[in-house]
Structure 1
Amino acid sequence: MTSVSRPAGPAATPSSRSSKVNLLPKDLGSLARGLPPAEPGTLFVLGSNGGMSVAPDAGFPVVFGRNEPDVHVCVGADDPHVSRRHGYLTFEGSQWVLTNVGRLPIRFPGSRLVLGGDRAELPVAYTPLFIVAPQQEHLLEVRIAAKVPPPSADGGYEADTRRRDVWSLSPVERLVLVCLSQRYLRDDPQPQPLTWAQVADELSELRPAEKWTWRRAAHVVVNVRKRLSGRVRGLLEEEVPPPVGNTLNHNLIMELLVTTTLGKTDLLLLDEESAE
């Protein structure tokens, strides 16, 4: 297992390398929504209390874990299951590499796990990483700046078939999905989707004139799953092993959370409606 030298501390680290290593504020927002101008290959890492950006030629390992004074990026600060120094990110050769030196595994989107002592290459893209603790998963956002392509003849518009960071939802779809996934958005330690009956009951209270039933709520969600299934696996019954249970809705919710299609601010839809 590779040893990690003690970081000087997040506040002091960038002083000698201000052009290569910089702090990211806590209120930056999700890295999934984009990046400031940066050299191709620049690593952006964001935890619960801010983060860092590091140029690929800085020769600077980014250490993350729960002990904020002893790491560069804090994650899982209040969870003793997360190691004080859980892992680090280094630029090796031509790519960034994740090394897990903690006890708990680190999950990539989907089901791929990086166990303690293991390493994994990071793609040049947005990659949410999750430290898998017993009560909840702790998010560490990572994004590597890509080379900006030259403008095309049509002005640089993206083709419709290119995957976007955020999925498009209609107002009704967003309302139903926020209701379905509210336990995830409210930081339930072991979240599960609401049942169709619970969704229908809550929507009926929020919007009594719309005559919500469990079948109508289910129909809205099933349509979203089918629409995303061409580019996201695990949303169709034939793609998951039995018993299916809540798996399909759980997989959909995780996709919407990982891509920041849904966020905590969407809970205002429920709160505003209930206040009327």
Structure 2
Amino acid sequence: MTTDTAGTAGLPGGQRLPGTHGSLARGVSAPVAGTVFALALTGGMRLGPGPGREVLFGRNRPAVHVCLGEDDPLVSRHQGTLTHRGGQWWISNHGRLPIRLARGRLLFTGEEALPLEAGYTPLFVRGSRHREHLLEVYVTDQDGAAPTPRPEDITLPPRTWLLSEQERLVLVVLGRRYLLHELRPQPLTWQDTAAHLARLQPAANWGHKKVEHVVSAVRTRLSRDGVPFLTREEVGEPVGNTLNDHLLRELLLSTTLVPPDLALLDLPGGPDEW
């Protein structure tokens, strides 16, 4: 399907969004539930629901509805499509590069389309010179109304997880590289974590089994409370560091662990002790 992105030709019911349109993250409104908004740096499109309706996006401005990464040859001319079927919108990839969705989910060309939930969904395509091209997508829900600004409301705190002093110390040691903002952090091994804890608490009889027991108890507790990907059944084999990586990222994202917690690791000999 080819269309002129300067207007809505070839896209019945569609409405052009200018490049000056504000971010969809601020919310949108539409009279019909299930209306999709798609917006890139150069502009976008609004389209109501209907079987088989499509919004094409990619680098080739004359052949798509939303132009994405126009000056970046790593972005495909037709990178992807938003399609309405079965009462909801779906995202499919037609380009050489994967499309990254929430929680790091990658959608590759040739894979089954993924359903889009109501609300805001950012989609990313990695380009050249470390660029990331953003396509904002918003699907309106039943009330079709934009979120109401709430500037005077009290800021809600994130849900943090209760940790004992011992658990916090063990997890700070285990996740030290995360708290130091290393580029690609990995948890310490059980043995290295136990060795560092033994330096901090020489009389506590720290060993790798004791460390594993403490961390596994925290993972089990958070998994029971709904945190995903903390069990072997969820991630599959080989597990490696995956479970502890997911645990530490949840603890940081929820602000249960924060960089000032590194003060727990102060040793008399200073950083060289590590």
Q: TM-score, normalization: structure 1?
A: 0.53
Supply the distance in 1 between the matched residues of 2:141 and 2:65 (Cα, whole angstroms).
23
Does 1:61 pair with 2:61? no
Aligned 8 A contact 1:10 1:69 in 2: yes
Counterpart selection for 1:139 from 134, 139, 153: 134
Structure of higher CA gyration radius: 2
Supply the distance in 2 between the matched residues of 1:103 and 1:241 (Cα, whole angstroms).
35
Supply the distance in 2 between the matched residues of 1:126 and 1:24 (Cα, whole angstroms).
16
Does 1:21 pair with 2:43? no
Counterpart selection for 1:124 from 118, 122, 145: 118
Aligned 8 A contact 2:31 2:144 in 1: no
**How many pairs does the alignment contain?**
172
For residues 98-109 of structure 1, the aligned pairs below 5 Å read 98-109=91-102
Aligned 8 A contact 2:76 2:95 in 1: yes
Supply the distance in 1 between the matched residues of 2:66 and 2:88 (Cα, whole angstroms).
20
Aligned 8 A contact 2:3 2:11 in 1: no
Q: TM-score, normalization: structure 2?
A: 0.53
Aligned 8 A contact 2:37 2:137 in 1: yes
* 2:142 alignment partner, SS class: coil
Q: Which residue in the other structure is 2:42 paired with?
A: 49
* 1:52 alignment partner, SS class: strand
Deviation at 1:103, TM superposition (A): 0.7
Does 1:8 pair with 2:3? yes
Supply the distance in 1 between the matched residues of 2:19 and 2:30 (Cα, whole angstroms).
18
For residues 242-261 of structure 1, the aligned pairs below 5 Å read 243-244=177-178, 245-246=180-181
- The 1:146–1:242 alpha-carbon spacing in structure 2 relative to 1, beyond 3 Å, is same
Supply the distance in 1 between the matched residues of 2:18 and 2:135 (Cα, whole angstroms).
14
Q: Which residue in the other structure is 1:88 paired with?
A: 81
Deviation at 1:12, TM superposition (A): 4.2
Deviation at 1:246, TM superposition (A): 2.1
Aligned 8 A contact 1:14 1:23 in 2: no
Q: RMSD between aligned alpha carbons?
A: 3.9
Supply the distance in 2 between the matched residues of 1:32 and 1:242 (Cα, whole angstroms).
33
- The 1:242–1:90 alpha-carbon spacing in structure 2 relative to 1, beyond 3 Å, is farther
Q: Which residue in the other structure is 2:208 paired with?
A: none
* 2:104 alignment partner, SS class: coil
* 1:110 alignment partner, SS class: helix
Unaligned runs of 5+ in 1: 151-155, 170-226, 232-236, 256-276
Residue by residue over 1:13-63, the C-alpha shift from the partner in whole angstroms, topping out at 9 and shown as x without a partner, is: 34773xx21111111100111213331000000011111111112743111
Deviation at 1:145, TM superposition (A): 0.5
Amino acid at match of 2:4: G
Deviation at 1:241, TM superposition (A): 6.6
Unaligned runs of 5+ in 2: 162-170, 186-248, 254-274
- The 1:81–1:16 alpha-carbon spacing in structure 2 relative to 1, beyond 3 Å, is closer
- The 1:157–1:27 alpha-carbon spacing in structure 2 relative to 1, beyond 3 Å, is closer
Identity score, percent: 39
Supply the distance in 2 between the matched residues of 1:72 and 1:142 (Cα, whole angstroms).
13
